[in-house]
């Protein structure tokens, strides 16, 4: 009989967000009159920027005519988009990346999971804790871990705690690791990494032959001018890091789907004979074999996010969500709750009051205020006792949520 990939059976019962959805659906079934406000998953709510919509309409019209019709595009992305990315996301900040180092895709969630295919199974992987669950689950699926232990950690993974006690700054691991996921601005804590922190990690990777998988999906939310926007702003990072970026959280593409991964040509990993293998051709091979490119319409939309009016409109969207985050922060602080994040990120990370566990707080908030957030423990054991709120919503709903919080926690 055909065998399953048994590693899937090690996974916790469900992916975090479907589990939240299940609990909320149950609550709504039992309380059909309740108007539930969702500040759980980090999904955008505002419509696409007009410049993006217009570009996508034009692209549809091109495909509607025999003269301008296009079929398969380059798997790695159209040159027009790869060049626009380099110019606006990197060169504008003095970072050298060439267009052929940019691989356009349909999302960073897919990229952060798929990238594992080009790394050997024996690599030791470090994650910060709490962490975006995709990094953990995809390593479990790939067989790079043992079982889940009682503390909620998978054997074989190296967990680096991010807590209020260490100011949410990831300490270097005590044992050598090969692959390190860093996500900054951080999901879920909403905190940022200083240049000194990133330099420490790049130095560590250079000394230990490690590779940093840097997820910068929330980069547009950085407001502090001292914080690097890209790992490649750190000297020497091109030898030891690759970077994921996305159009989801700034241009509102969570449903449209477009992201990219930058793999510098210098970046190499070791071969069994001790030699070195550049990763760029491997990822290129993987991408071209398993992916037929992001749709032309979507890539034209993404390109338009970099046009002068597109940039203004995208900035306005990011500022809108940041103002929501500020409102949430201030509203919660007024109730005496300790709040982190929300200044350079669309996420608020709060300490649950009264020693409640993350899921106890989730249930209480749902029952008393009909509010949904994300339990910190769902992002890893060090998230226990914390809770995440997303600032992606309309202002009206954010205001209503703040009032409900204040009533429920008074
Ligand atoms: C989240 O809520 O953490 C995000 O929506 C996850 C994602 O972007 O996939």
Would the pLDDT of 15 be above 70?
Answer: no
212 φ, ψ (degrees, to nearest 5): -95, 125
Q: What is the pLDDT of residue 17?
A: 80
pLDDT at residue 19, rounded to an integer: 81
For residues 294 and 312, what is the distance between their CA atoms, to the nearest angstrom?
24
Domain assignment present for residue 1? The answer is no
Q: Does residue 160 sit in the same domain as residue 213?
A: yes
- Over the chain, what is the mean pLDDT? 96
- CB 235, CB 262: distance < 8 Å: no
Structural domain boundaries enclosing 373: 7-47+309-409
Query: Is 287 part of a structural domain of the chain?
Result: yes
Residue nearest to atom 3 of ligand 1 (CA): 42
Those residues whose C-beta lies under 8 Å from the C-beta of residue 122, and which sit 6 or more positions away, are: none
Domain assignment of residue 254, yes or no: yes
Token readout for 354 is 């009264």
HEC sequence for 36-104:
CEECCCCCCCCCCCHHHHHHHHHHHHHHCCCCCCCCCCCCCCCHHHHHHHHHHHHHHHCCCCCHHHEEE
Alpha-helix runs per DSSP H in 92-224: 108-114, 133-141, 195-208
The residue whose C-alpha atom lies closest to atom 8 belonging to ligand 1 is: 42
Is the domain of 314 the same as that of 367? Answer: yes
Three-class secondary structure of residue 260 per DSSP: strand
Question: In terms of domains, do 40 and 143 share one?
Answer: no
The whole-angstrom separation of Cα 248 and Cα 112 is: 14
Inter-residue contact 99 to 288 (CB < 8 Å): no
Report the C-alpha gap between 373 and 191 in whole angstroms: 18
Q: Single out the residue in 253, 274, 307 at which a domain terminates.
A: 307
Distance between Cα 260 and ligand 1 center (Å): 16
Name the band, by pLDDT with cuts 50, 70 and 90, for residue 185: very high
Two tokens, residue 97: 């990346």
- When pLDDT is averaged across residues 4-15 and rounded to a whole number, the result is 86
Cα of 2 from ligand 1 centre, angstroms: 34
Q: Are 116 and 245 part of one and the same domain?
A: yes
Pair 110, 225 in one domain: yes
Shared-domain flag, residues 246 and 220? yes
What total of structural domains would you count in the chain?
2
pTM: 0.97
Q: Looking at the structure, tell me whether residues 222 and 317 fall in a common domain.
A: no
**Is 13 inside a domain boundary?**
yes
The C-alpha atoms of residue 20 and residue 40 are separated, in whole angstroms, by 8
Question: What's the pLDDT score for residue 136?
Answer: 97
Query: Does residue 36 sit in the same domain as residue 82?
Result: no
Q: What does the pLDDT look like over 77-107, one tens digit per residue?
A: 999 999 999 999 999 999 999 999 999 999 9
pLDDT at 362: 95
CATH of the domain at 326: 3.90.1150.10
Domain match, 235 and 380 both: no
Do the domain assignments include residue 292?
yes
CA–centroid distance, 391 to ligand 1, in Å, is 12
* 8 A C-beta contact, residue 89 and residue 101: no
- Centre of ligand 1 to C-alpha 217, Å, is 10
The predicted model gives 10-23 an average pLDDT of 82
In a domain, 107, yes or no: yes
pLDDT confidence band for 16 (50 / 70 / 90): confident
The string of pLDDT tens digits covering residues 108-155 is: 999 999 999 999 999 999 999 999 999 999 999 999 999 999 999 999
Rounded distance between C-alpha atoms, residue 236 and residue 391, angstroms: 34
113 and 149 belong to one structural domain: yes
Contact 388 CB / ligand 1 (< 6 Å): no
Query: Number of C-alpha atoms within 13 angstroms, CB side, residue 385?
Result: 10
Query: How many CA atoms lie less than 13 Å away from 179 in the CB half-sphere?
Result: 26
Are 135 and 197 members of one domain?
yes
pLDDT tens per residue across span 301-316 = 999 999 999 999 999 9
Same structural domain for residues 27 and 92? no
Are the C-beta atoms of residues 367 and 298 closer than 8 Å to each other? no
CATH number where 266 lies: 3.40.640.10
Of 307, 335, 360, the last residue of a domain is 307
pLDDT-derived band of residue 14, with 50, 70 and 90 as boundaries?
low
Of the candidates 307, 335, 353, which is a domain's last residue?
A: 307
Say what the pLDDT of residue 172 is: 98
């Amino acid at each position: 009989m055909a065998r399953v990939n048994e590693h899937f059976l090690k996974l916790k019962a469900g992916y975090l967000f479907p589990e939240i959805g299940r609990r909320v659906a149950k609550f709504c079934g039992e309380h059909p009159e309740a108007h539930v406000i969702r500040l759980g998953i980090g999904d955008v709510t505002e419509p696409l920027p007009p410049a993006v919509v217009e570009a996508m309409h034009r692209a549809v019209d091109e495909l509607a005519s025999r003269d301008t019709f296009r079929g398969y595009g380059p798997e790695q992305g159209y040159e027009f988009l790869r060049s626009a990315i380099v110019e606006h996301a990197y060169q504008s900040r003095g970072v050298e990346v060439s267009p052929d180092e940019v691989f356009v895709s349909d999302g960073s969630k897919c990229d952060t999971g798929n990238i594992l295919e080009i790394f050997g199974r024996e690599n030791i992987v470090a994650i910060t804790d709490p962490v975006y669950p995709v990094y953990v689950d995809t390593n479990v699926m790939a067989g790079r871990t043992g079982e889940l232990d009682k503390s909620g950690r998978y054997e074989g993974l190296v967990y680096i705690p991010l807590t209020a006690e260490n100011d949410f700054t990831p300490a270097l691991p005590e044992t050598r690791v090969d692959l390190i996921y860093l996500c900054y601005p951080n999901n879920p804590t909403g905190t940022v990494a200083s240049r000194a922190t990133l330099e420490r990690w790049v130095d560590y990777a250079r000394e230990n032959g490690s590779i940093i998988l840097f997820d910068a999906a929330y980069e547009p939310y950085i407001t502090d001018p001292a914080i690097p926007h890209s790992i490649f702003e750190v000297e020497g990072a091109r030898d030891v890091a690759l970077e994921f970026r996305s159009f989801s959280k700034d241009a509102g593409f969570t449903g449209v789907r477009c992201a990219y991964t930058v793999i510098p040509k210098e970046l190499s990993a070791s071969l069994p004979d001790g030699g070195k293998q550049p990763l760029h051709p491997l990822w290129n091979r993987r991408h071209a074999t398993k992916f037929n490119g992001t749709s032309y319409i979507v890539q034209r939309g993404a390109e338009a996010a970099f046009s002068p009016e597109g940039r203004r409109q995208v900035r306005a969207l990011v500022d809108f969500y940041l103002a929501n985050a500020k409102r949430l922060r201030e509203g919660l602080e007024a109730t005496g709750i300790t709040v982190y994040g929300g200044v350079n990120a669309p996420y608020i990370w709060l300490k649950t009051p009264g020693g409640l566990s993350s899921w106890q707080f989730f249930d209480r908030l749902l029952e008393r205020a009909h509010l949904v957030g994300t339990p910190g423990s769902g992002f890893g054991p060090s998230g226990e006792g914390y809770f995440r709120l997303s600032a992606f919503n309309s202002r009206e709903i954010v205001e209503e949520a703040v009032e409900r919080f204040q009533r429920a926690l008074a």
